[in-house]
Structures are given as structure tokens and as C-alpha cells.
């Protein structure tokens, strides 16, 4: 996404600082400011260029808030420019570049409020236009200054307002940008809706692609957070961690991203790093219940990792052996209980912290004969009562809250008779509304209790209720391998020199088949590609012959794709018939880029975007599962989104690339 620059400057010709000369600011814009910013990669906007109907001040304020860079020209004492600069300094702590033009024989103006601020001085001729002799150097210097400002650490405060008032916090950009009816609100709502559809449809590849297409860079932090949270919910902690790390590049102090970063590290069993992160978070907000719960989660995961068999949840091991192993890690169990209790004490409304503290405390008592722990029964009963009050209050606020329902069911399992336990779990699974991941989370909690032999009859019955509900749902398909293909289209009859001609077809089909056989491709694998005549369709035909599940992602609607990527090839009508035969065997209809992700953003290439979508969809199953097959002659492609670009990106991400060189097929 291009960074956005807003220019605050006078319009037209204005009297110079001496009141006698003239500065022609439209020439300053066209000759210096715009070329420099465009060279630095910015999209450039000046207030008088706004063509939409409405109050220009609203647009101006939105620009001053949202722009990645505000460039203010202070050559003359223009009140509008100073007003706009003041608004920017008040709204944002950074992202300002100051420029001053100097007329022959005059010293540049000195203003107390920004006297010490770094400025770029450019030379004007006596006619008030940028001096041609110094223009190339001025463009280069301004371009570099803009680039440096954009790349500067988010912790560095440039605005004198934020420098002199160190405890002043910037306003929440999202809340300000999305207030009322404006271009940011519409673009963000559309983008956000598509993100939510992708999450509900369990399509992390769509999420990854949309994460790079935030409608405005000012909302990039929000986009990375949303992407990471969606991927985390879909059990993709490694990919989610990438998103939260990108969010922290934007704002290293963002608490929400730091929290989720810690969760990801814990789920990746990187406990030492997770502890370091959570300790820093707790220092910053010691009484925050969410942070205390996060610390508890890290320690709980560390405890279970010490005694759980390598096969993970549900691995078959004698219960007595598991109980002994868990009891032997009593010190770690105590370390997990403490932050959960502290979090619940800090905020009794936080029933998640409370139920975890209670369940782990009861489990510790259950393991007491092996660990030597002496339970403080009255203390446990007080905690039990507190959790019941907390979750009851939460359900009064929202009776359909699945997590509150599941908490109440877990609470009942700790002490209630079996018929009450079963009742609460039946109500809880009904509240899940088919959320496979939420139900699976509850299943993991119950499996933990079952592994440790806790109330075996009640736990088994509760687990059976949850598993029956899960069995009614379609579990997310987890392929053994994701077979990602891209390759040359079949040449049109008049293409010279040949790249992939008809004479190479049978040899290419054989090589593709051999590559699939070497991978043992079969029904447990997923194949992804477009469906162009030539390599794509040969790959799909070979995969279908081996029973591989195939998904097709198209950059445009099917009729247009047939016209663009199938019919122009040699024997195009035959390739079209082969496409329809492949399509008839697909389990799902081809997915169309614009239908799924919306129109291609300005400045992006359609085919490049589709290839990113394909790669992200493949990576979303786990980079370790990706196997890439490319049919390529080793030369540069016809443009962005070609085979070369796709292969290089797959090699960079995974290192697993099978290259079929069409030059060897002659």
C-alpha cells in the first residue's frame, strides 16, 4: 500500500516574506514537492485537489489525521498552513516534514515555535519559482527526508506538543477516522466485513491477503491486530505471530499486540520468550486481569508440556502414569495458579481467570496424594463461590455468551452431580452455534481432566456431549501436503520464440505426474492453482487422477478468464473443454478473486494479487506443508504475477520448490 502525503501550503501566487516579492506556490508544488514525494513512493494530496462534494474542512481534518506524512511549506506566514500544522501536531506525535523557500538576498523566516525543528531549505529565483540549478538536489534531499520520516521509530515524538507534554496520549485513530460518513468509514467497513466473512468461513489465506490491503495505512495497526486474532482463532499461531510482529513494528508499545504475541509464543511452545514478554507486560500494567491471565496461560502450557506425551492431547498413556508425571510438576502447577488468582482478584468480572484458577486448584488437590500438596479447603470454596457469582453476572448481561456458558459447565464439573453437569454442558454446546474451534477448545479442557483421571464418569459424559456436537460439524480439512502449482500457459499459435508449445505437452504432463508421485500425492493432500490452458490444467488433471482434493482460484470471473487465459492458446477450444471436465470434478466451485476479496486495490496488478492469494492460501495450512511445483522456462515473465515471481516467493518462504524447466522438454 502506498504511503499517503498531505501537503499544507498556500495556493497560487502569494507575496513573499518581504511583502514585495512573489512566491508561485503552484510551481513549487509541481516542480519540487510533488516530484520529490512521488519519487519517495508517496501518494500526494493537497486540499484544493479534493473534488468530492461536502465540507472541505472535514476532508482536511481527516487527511491531517490519517496521512502518513504531512509536509508543511512555511515560506510565508500563511495562517491556514500554520493552523493545519498545529492540528497535525496535536493529533499525531510524528510524521511531519517542514520546508522553507529562500528568495535571493533574503534570510529564511525564523519562527519561535518551530525554530529548533529540522527543515529543508530550497532556493527560489527572483521570479518566485524553484531555482532550476538546485532543483535536482532539492528533490533528492526532500525525497530522502520524507523516506526517513516514514521509517522513523514510532517511539520518536516529533511533534513539539507531544515532546513537551510527555504523558499526552495520541487519540484513537480508528475512532476518529470512522466517525460519521466519510471515505475512510466506507472503505474500512467494506474491508472489515470481508475480513469477518473470511474468519467465519475459516479462510486464513483470505485473511493474510486482506491484511496487506488495509484501506488506509493509518489503520494498518488495526488490520494487523484483526488478522492476527483471526489466524489465532483458526489455530495458526505461527502465521498469527507474523501479523502481531508486524503490528509491533508499527507501534512497539501496543499492549493488545504484545498480549497476543505472548499467546502465540506459548502455543508454539516457546515458553522462555513468552515469559519474557509477559513479565514486561505485567510490569507495564501490573493490576490488569487480562495480563495476569496471560501469565497464567503461559505457565499452564509450560506445566502441561512437561508431563503430556509427545503425541499431545488424547494420546493413549496409562492414567496412573500421567497423574504421577503431572503431580511431579507441582511447582509449575503452583506457578500457573498464582497469576490466574491474581487476575481474578484484580477484576472479579474476569471469569476466565477465575475458572482457570479454580480448575487448576481443584486439580492440584486431586493430585495431592502424589504431590504432597495440602489443600486449603476454605480458600478453594471461597474461590468457587466467587467464580459462580462472576459467571452468573456475565450470563445476566449476555445469556448467549458461549464462553460464559462453557465456564459455568466447567464449574459444575468440578463438584456438581452428574445430571447437573450434563445439563450445563448441553446448554453450553447449544450456545456455540456451530463454532468448531470454540467447541474444540472446550474438548481440550475436558481431555486434560480426563487424562488426569478427574471425576472419570462425569468428565467422560461431558466430553461425550461436546464430541457429539463436534461430530455434527465439518472439521476444518487439514491436508498432509498443500500442492501449489503455477506455470506457463500453452503458447498461442503465433508466439515466437516458443515458451511452452504444443510439442511439449506430453512431456510436461509426464513430469508433473512424476513430481506428484514422488510426493505420494493422494486424497489427503490439497492442490491449489489457477486454471489456465497449459500447465495449470495439466496439473489439475494429474491431481484429479490421483484423488487429490483440488481448489481453483481465479483472478476474474470464469467467462473473462476463459477469454483471457484459455482460448488464446493453441487448440484453445480443446483446452476450454478440458477445463469444463476438470470443473465438473471439483468439490467446490472455483473461487473468484473479486467476489471473495473485493475489487483489486488501486496500483495492484490483478494476476499478481491472485498469485499472492494462492500462496497465502497454501501457507495458511502451515508453511511446513507447502510443496511447490512450477513449470517455467527460467526467463522473466510477461509481467507482474508471473511464474518467476511466484516461484521465487515460494522458494523464499519454504525452500521446497520442484522446477520443471520447459527448455528440457524439447
Cross-strand bridge partners of residue 552 = 529
User: Is residue 168 predicted with pLDDT exceeding 70?
Assistant: yes
Q: Residue 49 burial by CB count (10 A; 0-12/13-18/19+): exposed, middle or buried? A: exposed
Instruction: Retrieve residue 187's grid coordinates.
Output: 472503505
pLDDT higher at 454 or 605? 454
The residues near 517 (Cβ < 8 Å, ≥ 6 apart) are: 546
pLDDT tens per residue across span 413-467: 999 999 999 999 999 999 998 888 899 999 999 999 999 999 999 999 999 999 9
**Residue 96 near residue 56, CB atoms below 8 Å:** no
CATH 3.40.50.2300 residue ranges in the chain?
4-171
Q: How much is the pLDDT for 174?
A: 63
Q: How much is the pLDDT for 115?
A: 47
Q: How much is the pLDDT for 344?
A: 94
CATH 3.40.50.450 residue ranges in the chain?
482-664
* Residue with the three cell numbers 471425576: 455
Q: How much is the pLDDT for 36?
A: 95
| Residue 252 CB neighbours (<10 A) | 12
Q: How much is the pLDDT for 279?
A: 83
Instruction: Retrieve residue 223's grid coordinates.
Output: 488490520
Q: What is the mean predicted confidence (pLDDT) over 369-386?
A: 87
pLDDT tens per residue across span 4-27: 899 999 999 999 888 889 999 999
How far is residue 645's CA from residue 556's CA, in Å, rounded to a whole number?
Answer: 20
How far is residue 116's CA from residue 98's CA, in Å, rounded to a whole number?
Answer: 11
Q: How much is the pLDDT for 127?
A: 93
In the sheet where 96-102 sits, what is the strand order? 43-46, 4-8, 69-73, 96-102, 119-123
User: Is residue 389 predicted with pLDDT exceeding 90?
Assistant: yes
Question: By percentage, how much of the chain surpasses pLDDT 90?
Answer: 53
User: Is residue 282 predicted with pLDDT exceeding 80?
Assistant: no
Question: By percentage, how much of the chain surpasses pLDDT 70?
Answer: 91
Q: Report which of 296, 267, 294, 298 is spatially closest to residue 281, judged by C-alpha positions.
A: 294
Give the chain's length: 666
pLDDT tens per residue across span 522-556: 999 999 999 999 999 999 999 999 999 999 999 99
Going by pLDDT thresholds of 50, 70 and 90, the confidence category of residue 175 is low
| Homologous superfamily of 4-171 | Response regulator (3.40.50.2300)
pLDDT tens per residue across span 90-134: 888 888 999 999 998 877 666 555 545 678 899 999 999 999 999
Mean pLDDT of the chain: 87
Going by pLDDT thresholds of 50, 70 and 90, the confidence category of residue 601 is confident
Going by pLDDT thresholds of 50, 70 and 90, the confidence category of residue 595 is very high
> Is the overall model pTM greater than 0.85, yes or no?
no
DSSP H/E element including 280: helix 271-284
Instruction: Retrieve residue 347's grid coordinates.
Output: 477484576
Q: What is the mean predicted confidence (pLDDT) over 199-216?
A: 84
Q: What is the mean predicted confidence (pLDDT) over 399-408?
A: 95
Q: What is the mean predicted confidence (pLDDT) over 467-492?
A: 90
User: Is residue 2 predicted with pLDDT exceeding 80?
Assistant: no
Highest mean pLDDT: which range of 301-315, 363-377, 474-488, 503-517: 503-517
SS (H, E, C) 424-460: HHHHHHHHCCCCHHHHHHHHHHHHHHHHCCCCHHHHH
Q: How much is the pLDDT for 320?
A: 85
Omega before residue 497 within 30° of 0, cis: yes
The residues near 654 (Cβ < 8 Å, ≥ 6 apart) are: 623, 624, 626, 628
Options 3.40.50.450, 3.40.50.300, 3.40.50.2000, 3.40.50.1370; CATH of 482-664: 3.40.50.450
How far is residue 490's CA from residue 53's CA, in Å, rounded to a whole number?
Answer: 49
pLDDT higher at 34 or 55? 34
**Residue 413 near residue 462, CB atoms below 8 Å:** yes
User: Is residue 54 predicted with pLDDT exceeding 50?
Assistant: no
How far is residue 371's CA from residue 349's CA, in Å, rounded to a whole number?
Answer: 32
- Helices of type H across 40-134: 56-66, 79-91
Amino acid at each position: 500500500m502506498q504511503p499517503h502525503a498531505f501537503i499544507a501550503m498556500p495556493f497560487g501566487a502569494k507575496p513573499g516574506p518581504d511583502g514585495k516579492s512573489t512566491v508561485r506556490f503552484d510551481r513549487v508544488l509541481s516542480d519540487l514537492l510533488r516530484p520529490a514525494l512521488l519519487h519517495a513512493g508517496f501518494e500526494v494530496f493537497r486540499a484544493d485537489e479534493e473534488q468530492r462534494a461536502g465540507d472541505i474542512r472535514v476532508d482536511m481534518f481527516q487527511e491531517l489525521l490519517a496521512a502518513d506524512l504531512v509536509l508543511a511549506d512555511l515560506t510565508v506566514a500563511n495562517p491556514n498552513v500554520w493552523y493545519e500544522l498545529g492540528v497535525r501536531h496535536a493529533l499525531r506525535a510524528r510524521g511531519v516534514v517542514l520546508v522553507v523557500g529562500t528568495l535571493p538576498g533574503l534570510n529564511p523566516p525564523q519562527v519561535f515555535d518551530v525554530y529548533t525543528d529540522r527543515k529543508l531549505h530550497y532556493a527560489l529565483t527572483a521570479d518566485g519559482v524553484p531555482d532550476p540549478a538546485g532543483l535536482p538536489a532539492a528533490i533528492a534531499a526532500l525525497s530522502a527526508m520524507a523516506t526517513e520520516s516514514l521509517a522513523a521509530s514510532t517511539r520518536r515524538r516529533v511533534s513539539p506538543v507531544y515532546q513537551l507534554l510527555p504523558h499526552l496520549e495520541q487519540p484513537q485513530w480508528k475512532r476518529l477516522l470512522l466517525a460519521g460518513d466519510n471515505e475512510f468509514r466506507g472503505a474500512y467497513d467494506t474491508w472489515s466485513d470481508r475480513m469477518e466473512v473470511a474468519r467465519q468461513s475459516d479462510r486464513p489465506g483470505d485473511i493474510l491477503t486482506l491484511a496487506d490491503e488495509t484501506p488506509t495505512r493509518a489503520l494498518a495497526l488495526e488490520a494487523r491486530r484483526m488478522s492476527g486474532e483471526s489466524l489465532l482463532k483458526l489455530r495458526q499461531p505461527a502465521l498469527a505471530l507474523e501479523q502481531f510482529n508486524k503490528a509491533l513494528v508499527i507501534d512497539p508499545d501496543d499492549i493488545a499486540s504484545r498480549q497476543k504475541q505472548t499467546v502465540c509464543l506459548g502455543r508454539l511452545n516457546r515458553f522462555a520468550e513468552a515469559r519474557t514478554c509477559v513479565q514486561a507486560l505485567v510490569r507495564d500494567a501490573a493490576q490488569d486481569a487480562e495480563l495476569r491471565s496471560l501469565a497464567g496461560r503461559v505457565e499452564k502450557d509450560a506445566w502441561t508440556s512437561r508431563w503430556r506425551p509427545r503425541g499431545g492431547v488424547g494420546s493413549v498413556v496409562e492414567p496412573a502414569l500421567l497423574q504421577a508425571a503431572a503431580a511431579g510438576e507441582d511447582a509449575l502447577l503452583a506457578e500457573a495458579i498464582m497469576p490466574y488468582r491474581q487476575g481474578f482478584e484484580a477484576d472479579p468480572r474476569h471469569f476466565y481467570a477465575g475458572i482457570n484458577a479454580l480448575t487448576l486448584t481443584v486439580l492440584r488437590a486431586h493430585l495431592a496424594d502424589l504431590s504432597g500438596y495440602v489443600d486449603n479447603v476454605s480458600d478453594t470454596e471461597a474461590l468457587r463461590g466467587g467464580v459462580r457469582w462472576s459467571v452468573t453476572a456475565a450470563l445476566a448481561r449476555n445469556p448467549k455468551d458461549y464462553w460464559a456458558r462453557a465456564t459455568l459447565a466447567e464449574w459444575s464439573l468440578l463438584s456438581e452431580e452428574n445430571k447437573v453437569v450434563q445439563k450445563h454442558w448441553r446448554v453450553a454446546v447449544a450456545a456455540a452455534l456451530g463454532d468448531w474451534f470454540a467447541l474444540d477448545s472446550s474438548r481440550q479442557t475436558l481431555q486434560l481432566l480426563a487424562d488426569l483421571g478427574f471425576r472419570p464418569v462425569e468428565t467422560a459424559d461431558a466430553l461425550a456431549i461436546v464430541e457429539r456436537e463436534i461430530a455434527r460439524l465439518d472439521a476444518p480439512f487439514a491436508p498432509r501436503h498443500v500442492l501449489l502449482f503455477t506455470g506457463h500457459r500453452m503458447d498461442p499459435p503465433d508466439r515466437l520464440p516458443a515458451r511452452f508449445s504444443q510439442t511439449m505437452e506430453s512431456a510436461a504432463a509426464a513430469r508433473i505426474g512424476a513430481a506428484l508421485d514422488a510426493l505420494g500425492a493422494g486424497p489427503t493432500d490439497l492442490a491449489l492453482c489457477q486454471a489456465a490452458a497449459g500447465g495449470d490444467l495439466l496439473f489439475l488433471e494429474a491431481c484429479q487422477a490421483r484423488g487429490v482434493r483440488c481448489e481453483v482460484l481465479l483472478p476474474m470471473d470464469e467467462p473473462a478468464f476463459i477469454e483471457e487465459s484459455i482460448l488464446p492458446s493453441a487448440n484453445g477450444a480443446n483446452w476450454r473443454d478440458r477445463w469444463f471436465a476438470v470443473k465438473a470434478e471439483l468439490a467446490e466451485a472455483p473461487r473468484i478473486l473479486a467476489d471473495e476479496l473485493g475489487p483489486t486495490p488501486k496500483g495492484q496488478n490483478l494476476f499478481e494479487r491472485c498469485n499472492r492469494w494462492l500462496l497465502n492460501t497454501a501457507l495458511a495450512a502451515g508453511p511446513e506443508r507447502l510443496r511447490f511445483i512450477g513449470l517455467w522456462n527460467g526467463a522473466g515473465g510477461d509481467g507482474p504475477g508471473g511464474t518467476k515471481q511466484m516461484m521465487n516467493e515460494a522458494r523464499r518462504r519454504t525452500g521446497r520448490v520442484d522446477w520443471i524447466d520447459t527448455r528440457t522438454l524439447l
